[in-house]
Amino acid sequence: MSFSRLMEKAQGYLPSEKMVVVEAAYNFALKAHQGQVRKSGKPYIEHPLQVALTLAELQLDASSLAAALLHDVVEICDIPISEVEAKFGSEVAKLVDGTTKLGKLSLKTSGGAAARQAQAENLRKMLVAMAEDLRVVFIKLADRLHNMRTLDALSLEKQRSIAQETLEIYAPLAHRLGIWELKWQLEDLSFRHLEPVKYRQIAKLVAARRAQRESFITQIIQTLSQEFERVGLKAEMSGRPKHIYSIYQKMERYSALGKHFDDIHDLLALRVLVGTVPDCYSAVGVIHSLWRPLPEEFDDFIANPKPNGYQSLHTAVMYQGTTPLEIQIRTRDMHYIAEYGVAAHWRYKEGEEKDIHFEERIAWLRQLIEWH
């Protein structure tokens, strides 16, 4: 049952007094959605539970989890927002209200490509502008993610239009907010419904090369750990398989250039996590002295972070003189931001009052507005 999974996740980072509101919201939603079923035939409550679970994975605060559990009670069950406010307070009520209002926006599919693109851009702006509180956008993204996961229950036509909207609006929004963890899932799920044949082809290619890829990466990690150990550098390393949609985009770029997409190095990258910023530069030094770096492939996103806050060193080297290999080097803190982006600044941290991250959050919002 999803509720115990949610409780388990949330208890991992929320103190027990904060769990009270999460439990109360669950009980309220359970009663409100009683007898309702999703198109899939599953009890409706499964949906808000899954949305809350996604937010618990981002380690968002108790109000976000409560609002996620309650996000459809106004829209679907006709419960007045005043009742939500009376029971759960104004913070949770505002989040529920914001999410309900965002639900009313949608992409009009009429007009040409340019009109469509302009509309998509407008909608993205609106989503951000309307969300006085970015937690509303996180709820909306998690809501969309679960809807995408359960898309098979809808007609093919509906599947396609929802997948298209997700790829044009929600995935880019997750990207701008730097929430990689949601972005890649939204992209892959959309792609699976929009281009099922191509999706399966790539998934098969990835699966077929798995064993080869894993032994390749194990070998590289072994060599590198010896070198790091020699210079006293502590690092965690892992192979990072690319997600299906990013492989598809790379294939498209290759075919435009007349290149053939085939090699395993196109399917993976190595990730190196270290403790400090100086360690990042030491690690890249070790790597470059071991294998020849490819010209123009080195990017210092630590000194020059991406607009969404992403920081890392990127390089590509000629492994054993024959195989190009992409490598990302970052600290663990940078890694957290790389996975969860702006949501990391809304993360619940014990012992800290809500406005401690205020400055960080304002900086984020300012950046967002500047992009628009």
> Cβ of residue 176: shortest distance to Mn ion, in angstroms?
22
Asked if residues 26 and 1 have their Cβ atoms less than 8 Å apart, the reply is no
Closest residue to Mn ion, based on beta-carbon distance: 143
Q: Is the CB of 46 or the CB of 72 nearer to Mn ion? A: 72
- Residues in contact with Mn ion, counted by CB under 5 A, come to a total of 2
For Mn ion, which stretch binds (CB under 5 A), given 11-19, 67-75, 178-186, 332-340?
Answer: 67-75
**Rule CB under 5 A: which of 95-114 touch Mn ion?**
none
Residue with Cβ nearer Mn ion (143 or 187): 143
| Cβ 71 to Mn ion shortest distance, Å | 6
Alpha helical stretches, state H, the chain:
2-11, 16-32, 46-57, 62-70, 73-77, 81-102, 113-130, 134-149, 156-165, 171-176, 180-194, 196-208, 210-230, 244-256, 277-290, 332-340, 358-371
What is the number of other CB atoms lying within 10 angstroms of the CB of residue 151? 20
The Cα 28–Cα 277 span in angstroms is 47
Q: Does 266 bind Mn ion (CB under 5 A)?
A: no
> How is 35-50 classified by DSSP, letter by letter?
T-B-TTSSBTTHHHHH
Cβ 280 vs Cβ 330: under 8 Å: yes
Min dist. Cβ of residue 124 to Mn ion (A): 19
CB of 354 to Mn ion, least distance (A): 25
Binding segment for Mn ion (CB under 5 A), chosen from 66-74, 228-236, 255-263, 298-306, is 66-74
Closest CB 264 distance from Mn ion, rounded Å: 40
Name the DSSP letter for residue 250.
H
Q: How far is the CB of 318 from Mn ion (least distance, A)?
A: 49
Q: Is residue 168 close enough to count as binding Mn ion by CB under 5 A?
A: no
In whole angstroms, give the CA distance from residue 343 to residue 361: 10
Q: Does 72 bind Mn ion (CB under 5 A)?
A: yes
Least spacing, CB of residue 39 vs Mn ion, in Å: 12
Of the candidate spans 69-77, 117-125, 299-307, 337-345, the one that interacts with Mn ion by CB under 5 A turns out to be 69-77
Pull the structure tokens for residue 334: 């940078």
| 46 versus 143: smaller Cβ distance to Mn ion | 143
Among 46, 61, 91, 143, binds Mn ion (CB under 5 A): 143
Kind of pairing, strands 313-319 and 299-300?
antiparallel
Q: What is the amino acid identity at position 219?
A: Q
Binding site for Mn ion (CB under 5 A): 72, 143
